[in-house]
């Protein structure tokens, strides 16, 4: 059990990430930091392309400053990740379920659930311009409920119909929000 | 007189009152359900309410904010799962109380103390904001530049795992905010020739992606947290308890308000600092800390609600958000055509007094809802993640599309969601990103104004940062913040 002291410097965003995790996140952290370093370098190159080192108030100065800050900080993160991997070997610390209400287990970045749900979301977003929001959402919700909940297709279908109806009534009729239409079923949804 | 009528606007108008009540109730649930956050709810809400009159939208959003900060305590006490980061300390003391069958007492005490803290934060807002706004009229562009940088760095320094990660997240946000046509020279910045990107990356898409979809994906790791049932008992706290902890509650409110008012730091940090204060200042608790000490429950809960009022102070007076939620609310004000900053209070004082009155009303509803309906509540929190996660994703899509009816924005939102997932998993907070997106253009224009004022002379530019007392204070704070994060300094502090 981590003491309160361990928890003192935790999330302002939304997620509570216990301190334990940053000791080692498996091989992924070094790779991810490397991606960030490369991304920052590319961003710096692009920012340089805006107006070069032409002047102190040109359009490109601030983007260059921001991407330089990204490059430096990502490099620090990378060097620490590499160093901690070298010193700790390949062992991730033992997991302590009581400590991690909302955290992610080390070494489990690409879980099967994540890959499948991300694929479903990508399909959902890709299909929306063609079949429209309502059918796309219904298909997505049905597929996601069936996969994640596993209570049988009839239950998933019922919850899907209920959810889509509520969303339509609340947002389209209540909030008067325009929902994305589809090119295939124009005029229907 | 006009001030009073604006102050009481939401108390007298039934529709505004209803919106505040609905927002507060919704906020309590959103805050309580782990995986749903106040920031997520406000960013999605803003996209639905942007066509509403500004008062209606603010009433709903203020309710969600106040309710949400409090709601996190419920699940912390009943299930040992902080519904929001600001309830982490609450779980440490609240859950052991629940295990002893004192959940009702714990909830009652947190409710009353939350409301007390909330009211003190609002009082501080009402008293100090006009003075700060007047003072801020003396601020020059370099001061805003420093304030913005301090805000982003503070979030990075205090909230994440490491300062480097915080700096990266903040700088990434600033860079995202730079995309589009340069407002001064109309040059294209990082647009890759795309017409879509010339108008900039829509910050609502970034907010919903980073706070909605990313969080939903992270929650996939916690699909099977078993629900635990607790006996609740009476929730009306005893007067003796309230009187006994009043001193601590007042001190914690002070901590909460000040921490909330610092640009970039919000309720979660306030709660942890207040918890720490309670631990240090309570010599002989009836129950040891960590085993259900009421002091450790009162302090963080008062502080995080006091931080709500505090967080509004820099947002309304300087245009610099006090925390992630106010960063989102500032986005809402932009959408409604308002420009938060010292002139907001001077040109539209009615809006300011409306917000103050409305936050007070939301706290009243908090007291009412907080002390009732707990049994129904525990049922709703048990809603399976397998249903919640897909629904959050669908709502995120609707919200992103609603602002400009542009399907491309949904793709953006999804991209930010996936990027945010990886950032969160590897310990990068996404709060600084949003702060960076909001503050980036402001930082850029203030930097350039300062540099132009210094006639492009770096020596004079730097001299400006130490030659004026206000700027000097800010420069010193900025440098101290940077130095305090270096390994050398931390080693020095540890050795002492």
Structure tokens at B300: 């963080």
Task: State the Cα–Cα distance between residues A115 and A118, nearest whole angstrom.
Answer: 5
Residue B181 pairs with which residues in a beta bridge? Answer: B188
The C-alpha of B333 sits at a distance from chain A's nearest C-alpha, in angstroms, of: 19
* pLDDT cut 70: percent of chain B above it: 94
The C-alpha of B4 sits at a distance from chain A's nearest C-alpha, in angstroms, of: 31
pLDDT attached to residue B308: 92
pLDDT attached to residue B4: 83
CB < 8 Å from B in window 102-141 of A:
102-105, 108-109, 111, 113-114, 117-118, 121-122, 124-125, 128-129, 133, 137, 140-141
Reduced DSSP (H G I as helix, E B as strand, rest coil) percent helix, strand, coil of chain A, to 5:
65, 0, 35
Structure tokens at B387: 């249903």
The mean pLDDT value of chain A amounts to 75
Is the separation of the CB atoms in B42 and B321 below 8 Å?
no
How much is the CA Rg of chain B, to the nearest whole Å?
A: 22
The mean pLDDT of B233-237, rounded to a whole number, is 72
pLDDT attached to residue B159: 61
Residue B188 pairs with which residues in a beta bridge? Answer: B181
pLDDT attached to residue A86: 66
Q: pLDDT digits over B463-479, tens only?
A: 999 999 989 999 998 99
Q: How many residues does chain B have?
A: 496
Which pLDDT band, with edges at 50, 70 and 90, does A123 fall under? very high
Pick from A184, A108, A103: which is nearest to B427 by CA?
A103
Task: State the Cα–Cα distance between residues B205 and B214, nearest whole angstrom.
Answer: 12
Residue A25 pairs with which residues in a beta bridge? Answer: A27
Task: State the Cα–Cα distance between residues A87 and A28, nearest whole angstrom.
Answer: 16
Query: Is the CB of A1 inside 8 Å of chain B's CB atoms?
Result: no
Choose between A121 and B268: higher pLDDT.
A121
pLDDT attached to residue B195: 83
Is the separation of the CB atoms in B160 and B169 below 8 Å?
yes
CB contact under 8 A, B37 and A11: no
Pick from B6, B16, B20, B10: which is nearest to B366 by CA?
B20
What is the helix (H) or strand (E) element at residue A149, kind and residue range?
Answer: helix A133-149
Choose between B481 and A8: higher pLDDT.
B481
Task: State the Cα–Cα distance between residues B468 and B460, nearest whole angstrom.
Answer: 13
Tell me if residue B137 falls in helix, strand or coil.
coil
pLDDT attached to residue B330: 86
Task: State the Cα–Cα distance between residues B229 and B382, nearest whole angstrom.
Answer: 10
Task: State the Cα–Cα distance between residues B438 and B443, nearest whole angstrom.
Answer: 9
Q: Using the predicted structure, report yes or no on whether residue B419 has a pLDDT greater than 90.
A: yes
Would you tell me how many other CB atoms lie within 10 Å of the CB of residue B138?
A: 10
The C-alpha of B162 sits at a distance from chain A's nearest C-alpha, in angstroms, of: 9
Q: How many Cβ contacts (< 8 angstroms) between chains A and B? A: 272
The single residue listed with the structure tokens 């009729």 is A173
Is the separation of the CB atoms in B234 and B104 below 8 Å?
yes
Q: Using the predicted structure, report yes or no on whether residue B242 has a pLDDT greater than 60.
A: yes
pLDDT attached to residue B403: 76
CB contact under 8 A, B422 and A17: no
DSSP character string of B56-76: HHHHHHHHHHHHHHHHHHHHH
Residue B39's alpha-carbon distances to A184, B68, B327, in angstroms, are: 36, 9, 9
The C-alpha of A155 sits at a distance from chain B's nearest C-alpha, in angstroms, of: 11
CB contact under 8 A, A149 and B395: no
Out of A36-40, B276-280, B488-492, least confident range: B488-492
The mean pLDDT of A151-160, rounded to a whole number, is 89
CB contact under 8 A, A124 and B431: no
Q: Using the predicted structure, report yes or no on whether residue B459 has a pLDDT greater than 50.
A: yes
pLDDT attached to residue B60: 92
* pLDDT cut 90: percent of chain B above it: 28
Structure tokens at B381: 């929190």
Query: Is the CB of A76 inside 8 Å of chain B's CB atoms?
Result: yes
The mean pLDDT of B141-161, rounded to a whole number, is 81
Q: Using the predicted structure, report yes or no on whether residue A146 has a pLDDT greater than 50.
A: yes
Query: Is the CB of A175 inside 8 Å of chain B's CB atoms?
Result: yes
Query: Is the CB of B389 inside 8 Å of chain A's CB atoms?
Result: yes
Structure tokens at B446: 């203030």
Residues 6 or more apart in contact with residue B372 via CB below 8 angstroms? none
Which pLDDT band, with edges at 50, 70 and 90, does A16 fall under? very low
Model's pTM, two decimal places? 0.81
pLDDT attached to residue B32: 78
CB contact under 8 A, A33 and B440: no
Task: State the Cα–Cα distance between residues B262 and A26, nearest whole angstrom.
Answer: 35
Query: Is the CB of B185 inside 8 Å of chain A's CB atoms?
Result: yes
Query: Is the CB of A88 inside 8 Å of chain B's CB atoms?
Result: no
Q: pLDDT digits over B368-406, tens only?
A: 988 876 666 666 666 778 888 898 899 888 888 887 788
Which pLDDT band, with edges at 50, 70 and 90, does A8 fall under? very low
Task: State the Cα–Cα distance between residues B340 and B352, nearest whole angstrom.
Answer: 10
Tell me if residue A95 falls in helix, strand or coil.
coil
Tell me if residue B491 falls in helix, strand or coil.
helix
Out of B145-159, B168-182, B308-322, B390-404, least confident range: B145-159
At residue A108's C-alpha, the angle toward residues A106 and A112, to 5°, is 165
CB contact under 8 A, B429 and A11: yes
Q: pLDDT digits over A30-55, tens only?
A: 889 999 999 999 999 999 988 888 78
The single residue listed with the structure tokens 């399909």 is A123
DSSP character string of A9-72: S--SSS----GGGGG-BTBHHHHHHHHHHHHHHHHHHHHHHHHTT--TTSTTHHHHHHHHHHHH
Torsion, Cα B144 B147 B153 B157, to 10 degrees, reads -170
Residues 6 or more apart in contact with residue B415 via CB below 8 angstroms? B209
CB contact under 8 A, A77 and B165: yes
Query: Is the CB of A144 inside 8 Å of chain B's CB atoms?
Result: yes
Taking CB atoms and an 8 Å cutoff, what residues of chain B touch A124?
393, 397
Q: pLDDT digits over B12-57, tens only?
A: 899 999 999 999 998 888 887 766 778 888 888 887 787 888 899 9
Q: Using the predicted structure, report yes or no on whether residue A148 has a pLDDT greater than 80.
A: yes
Taking CB atoms and an 8 Å cutoff, what residues of chain A touch B174?
62, 66, 69
Indicate which of B87, B145, B177, B398 best probes the interface with A, i.e. most A CBs within 10 Å of its own CB. Answer: B398
Choose the closest CB to B426 out of A29, A72, A163: A29
CB contact under 8 A, A80 and B164: yes
Is the separation of the CB atoms in B414 and B204 below 8 Å?
no
Q: Using the predicted structure, report yes or no on whether residue B490 has a pLDDT greater than 80.
A: no
Q: How deeply is A89 buried, as exposed, middle or buried, from its count of CB atoms within 10 A (0-12, 13-18, 19+)?
A: exposed
Question: DSSP label at B242?
Answer: H
Residue B189 pairs with which residues in a beta bridge? Answer: B180
**Shortest CA distance from B174: residue in chain A:** A66
Is the separation of the CB atoms in A99 and B207 below 8 Å?
no
CB < 8 Å from A in window 50-109 of B:
51, 80-82, 84-85, 88-89, 91-92
Q: Provide φ and ψ at A27, rounded to 5°.
A: -65, -20
Q: pLDDT digits over B352-370, tens only?
A: 999 999 999 999 999 998 8
The C-alpha of A87 sits at a distance from chain B's nearest C-alpha, in angstroms, of: 19
Task: State the Cα–Cα distance between residues A119 and A81, nearest whole angstrom.
Answer: 29
Residue A27 pairs with which residues in a beta bridge? Answer: A25
DSSP character string of B209-220: IIIIIHHHHHHG
Query: Is the CB of A33 inside 8 Å of chain B's CB atoms?
Result: yes
Q: Provide φ and ψ at B188, rounded to 5°.
A: -80, 135
Question: DSSP label at A174?
Answer: I
Query: Is the CB of A58 inside 8 Å of chain B's CB atoms?
Result: yes
Q: Using the predicted structure, report yes or no on whether residue B173 has a pLDDT greater than 60.
A: yes
Task: State the Cα–Cα distance between residues B408 and B457, nearest whole angstrom.
Answer: 43
CB contact under 8 A, B456 and A57: yes
Choose the closest CB to A101 out of B39, B82, B172: B82
pLDDT attached to residue A178: 79
The mean pLDDT of B67-77, rounded to a whole number, is 84
Residues 6 or more apart in contact with residue B485 via CB below 8 angstroms? B157, B163
The mean pLDDT value of chain B amounts to 85
Q: How deeply is B286 buried, as exposed, middle or buried, from its count of CB atoms within 10 A (0-12, 13-18, 19+)?
A: exposed
Query: Is the CB of A38 inside 8 Å of chain B's CB atoms?
Result: no
């Amino acid at each position: 059990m981590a003491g309160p002291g361990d928890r003192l410097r935790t999330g302002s965003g939304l997620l509570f990430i216990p301190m334990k995790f940053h000791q080692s996140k498996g091989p992924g952290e070094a790779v991810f930091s490397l991606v960030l370093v490369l991304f920052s370098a590319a961003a710096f190159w692009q920012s340089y392309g805006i107006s070069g080192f032409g002047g102190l108030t040109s359009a490109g100065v601030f983007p260059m400053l921001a991407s330089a800050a990204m490059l430096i900080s990502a490099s620090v993160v990378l060097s620490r990740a590499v160093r901690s991997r070298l010193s700790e070997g390949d062992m991730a610390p033992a997991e302590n379920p009581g400590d991690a209400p909302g955290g992610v287990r080390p070494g489990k970045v690409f879980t099967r659930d994540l890959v499948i749900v991300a694929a479903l979301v990508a399909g959902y977003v890709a299909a929306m311009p063609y079949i429209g929001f309502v059918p796309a959402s219904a298909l997505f919700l049905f597929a996601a409920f069936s996969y994640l909940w596993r209570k049988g297709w009839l239950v998933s279908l019922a919850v899907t119909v209920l959810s889509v109806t509520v969303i339509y009534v609340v947002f389209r009729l209540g909030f008067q929000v325009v929902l994305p239409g589809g090119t295939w079923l124009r005029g229907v949804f | 007189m006009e001030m009073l009528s604006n102050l009481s606007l939401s108390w007298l108008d039934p529709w505004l009152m209803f919106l505040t009540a609905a927002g507060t109730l919704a906020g309590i649930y959103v805050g309580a359900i782990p995986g749903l956050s106040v920031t997520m709810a406000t960013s999605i809400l803003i996209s639905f309410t942007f066509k509403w009159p500004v008062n209606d939208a603010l009433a709903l959003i203020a309710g969600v904010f106040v309710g949400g900060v409090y709601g996190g305590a419920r699940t912390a006490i009943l299930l040992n799962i902080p519904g929001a980061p600001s309830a982490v300390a609450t779980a440490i003391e609240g859950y052991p109380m629940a295990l002893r069958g004192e959940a009702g007492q714990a909830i009652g005490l947190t409710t009353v103390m939350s409301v007390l803290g909330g009211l003190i934060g609002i009082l501080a807002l009402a008293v100090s904001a006009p003075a700060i706004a007047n003072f801020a009229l003396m601020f020059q562009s370099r001061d805003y530049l420093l304030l913005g940088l301090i805000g982003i760095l503070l979030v990075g320094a205090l909230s994440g795992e490491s300062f480097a990660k915080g700096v990266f997240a903040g700088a990434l946000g600033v860079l995202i905010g730079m995309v589009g046509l340069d407002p001064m020279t109309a040059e294209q910045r990082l647009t890759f020739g795309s017409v879509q990107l010339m108008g900039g990356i829509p910050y609502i898409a970034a907010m919903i992606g980073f706070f909605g979809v990313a969080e939903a994906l992270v929650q996939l790791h916690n699909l099977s947290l078993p629900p635990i049932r607790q006996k609740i008992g009476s929730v009306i706290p005893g007067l003796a308890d309230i009187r006994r902890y009043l001193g601590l509650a007042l001190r914690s409110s002070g901590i909460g308000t000040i921490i909330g008012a610092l640009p970039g730091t919000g309720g979660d940090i306030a709660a942890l600092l207040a918890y720490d204060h309670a631990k240090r200042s309570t010599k002989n608790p009836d129950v040891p800390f960590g085993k259900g000490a009421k002091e450790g429950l009162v302090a963080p809960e008062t502080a995080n609600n006091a931080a709500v009022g505090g967080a509004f102070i820099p947002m309304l007076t300087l245009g610099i958000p006090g925390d992630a939620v106010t960063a989102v609310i500032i986005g809402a004000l932009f959408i409604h055509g308002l420009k938060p900053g010292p002139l907001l209070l001077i040109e539209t004082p009615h809006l300011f007094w409306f917000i103050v009155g409305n936050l007070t009303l939301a706290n009243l509803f908090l007291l009412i809802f907080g002390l009732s309906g707990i049994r129904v509540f525990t049922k709703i929190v048990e809603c399976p993640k397998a249903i919640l996660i897909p629904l959050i994703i669908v709502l995120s899509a609707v919200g992103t599309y609603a602002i400009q009816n542009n399907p491309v924005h949904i793709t953006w939102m999804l991209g930010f969601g996936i990027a945010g997932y990886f950032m969160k998993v590897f310990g990068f907070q996404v709060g600084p990103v949003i702060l960076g997106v909001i503050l980036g253009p402001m930082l850029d224009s203030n930097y350039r104004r300062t540099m132009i004022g210094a006639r492009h002379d770096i020596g004079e530019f730097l001299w400006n940062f130490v030659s004026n007392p206000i700027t000097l204070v800010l420069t010193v704070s900025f440098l101290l913040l940077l130095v305090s994060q270096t390994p050398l300094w931390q080693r020095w502090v540890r050795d002492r």
